[in-house]
Amino acid sequence: MAETVRDARFEVDETATGDMRLSVFGDWVLASVGKIDAGLRDVAERSLDRQMIIDLAGVERIDTAGAFVLQRTMQACGGRTDVSQFQNIPAGADLLLSRVGRSMSPCDIEPRPVNAFVLMLNRLGMGAEDAYLNAARFFTFVSLVFGALGRLALDPRRLRVVSTVHHMEEAGLNAVPIVGLMSFMIGAVVAFMGARILSQFGAEVLTVELVGIAVLREFAVLLTAILIAGRSGSAFTAAIGSMKLREEIDAMRTLGLDPNEVLILPRVLALVTMTPLLVFVAMLLGLTGGLLVIWFALDVSPSLFLSRTQDVVVLSHFWVGIIKAPVFAFAIAVIGCHQGFLVSGSAESLGQRTTLAVVQSIFTVILLDAVFAMIFLELGV
């Protein structure tokens, strides 16, 4: 059905007076003029300061691109309008030519390129400024969240219960299977490695301590936090960011709703309350993984594992692990929401901010974990 496109052709004659006569044939449409574009530019170069007559008698079809290259050729010669002109214009094409002639202005295609060295300095400076501004913005944001939390404490009825519960389900309950499975596998791996290496010293029985302490103090809480950062931190950024792009957050402000209260508090509270519970689940399943491996690999019966765990793994290990959970959760939720609010302009920015939210949350979680480790070391727990 789509008609085939004939080639665009042209012939140039020079008259005795040195004027040029360009006869054009065939289809002058976008699909065909690409091939003769270079040739036509040569003609335009040669035609400088001469008169030009363009004869369209042989034209079968013409569209804006065809009209454009002809107008460009015509205007390049800069001839007098009483002599230089189009002849034998097909019906309808005169309007097209004049319409196109009025719109002959080259436009910028992309932002002007800058000298590479200047660009590098520019990036360095902007990066430094950004780092400073982002840190300042982030701490401002944290203080805003604390402010909103304070207002909520004074007037608990302001809590968006439905929204909070929704996020609790989304970020907490729905994360149970994946958090549990991962913790179970890590517990099993730690037990297996421990059993093999400790058996070389004849100390297989210490595997129970290894699994108990590693899972309770570090693995359960760290793995849960990393999973939460990937699952919920990124979701917070994406959700708030796309609301920002669609001006929903501006709309909230004009309606007198406080976005901090409506969007951030439910997410922060949901994550802070649910993460300790998730960590608890992770601890149980991590220990179960260890228990099963030790049972099968070392033939230590589950009851022996449990009683030994009770004897040697003191309760403080559990508290060291669980107390970190709300702190990590708070950091992840605040970073996720903050990055969401920083989304601006394009879909690409949304993607960048989401990535950044995950990277920053995981980094912050590990940094905080190191700080906790030092504190507990000093405290001797």
Partner 1 sequence: MSAPAIEIRGLKNAFGPQVIHENLDLAIERGEVVGIVGGSGTGKSVLLRTIVGLNQRTAGSVKVFGEDPDELDGAARSALERRWGVLFQDGALFSSLTVAQNVMAPMREHLRLPRALMDDVAGLKIAMAGLPPDAGAKYPSELSGGMRKRAALARALALDPELIFLDEPTAGLDPIGAAAFDQLILDLKQSLGLTVFMVTHDLDSLHTACDRIAVLAEKRVIAIGPLDKVAQTDHPWIREYFSGPRGRLAAQAQAAQ
At closest approach, how far in Å is the CB of 59 from partner 1? 13
At closest approach, how far in Å is the CB of 246 from partner 1? 10
Please say which residue, 1 or 377, places its beta carbon nearer to partner 1. Answer: 1
| Amino acid, res. 140 | T
At closest approach, how far in Å is the CB of 110 from partner 1? 5
Which single residue is written with the structure tokens 């796309």?
A: 242
Please say which residue, 81 or 103, places its beta carbon nearer to partner 1. Answer: 103
| Amino acid, res. 160 | R
Q: How many residues would you count in the chain?
A: 381
For binding to partner 1 (CB under 8 A), which residues are involved?
A: 1-2, 29-31, 33-34, 37-38, 41, 63-65, 68-69, 72, 92-93, 95-96, 99-100, 103-112, 344-348
| Tokens (6 digits) for 137 | 């913005």
Please say which residue, 41 or 196, places its beta carbon nearer to partner 1. Answer: 41
- Cα 72 to Cα 41, 77, 92, 139: the distances in Å are 9, 9, 19, 58
Bridge partners (DSSP) of residue 218 are none
| Tokens (6 digits) for 95 | 């309007």
At closest approach, how far in Å is the CB of 149 from partner 1? 33
| Amino acid, res. 249 | I
Please say which residue, 240 or 362, places its beta carbon nearer to partner 1. Answer: 240
DSSP 205: G
Please say which residue, 67 or 313, places its beta carbon nearer to partner 1. Answer: 67
- Cα 34 to Cα 12, 30, 44, 65: the distances in Å are 18, 7, 16, 9
Residues 258, 155: contact at Cβ < 8 Å? no
Please say which residue, 93 or 148, places its beta carbon nearer to partner 1. Answer: 93
Bridge partners (DSSP) of residue 14 are 20
At closest approach, how far in Å is the CB of 112 from partner 1? 7
At closest approach, how far in Å is the CB of 65 from partner 1? 5
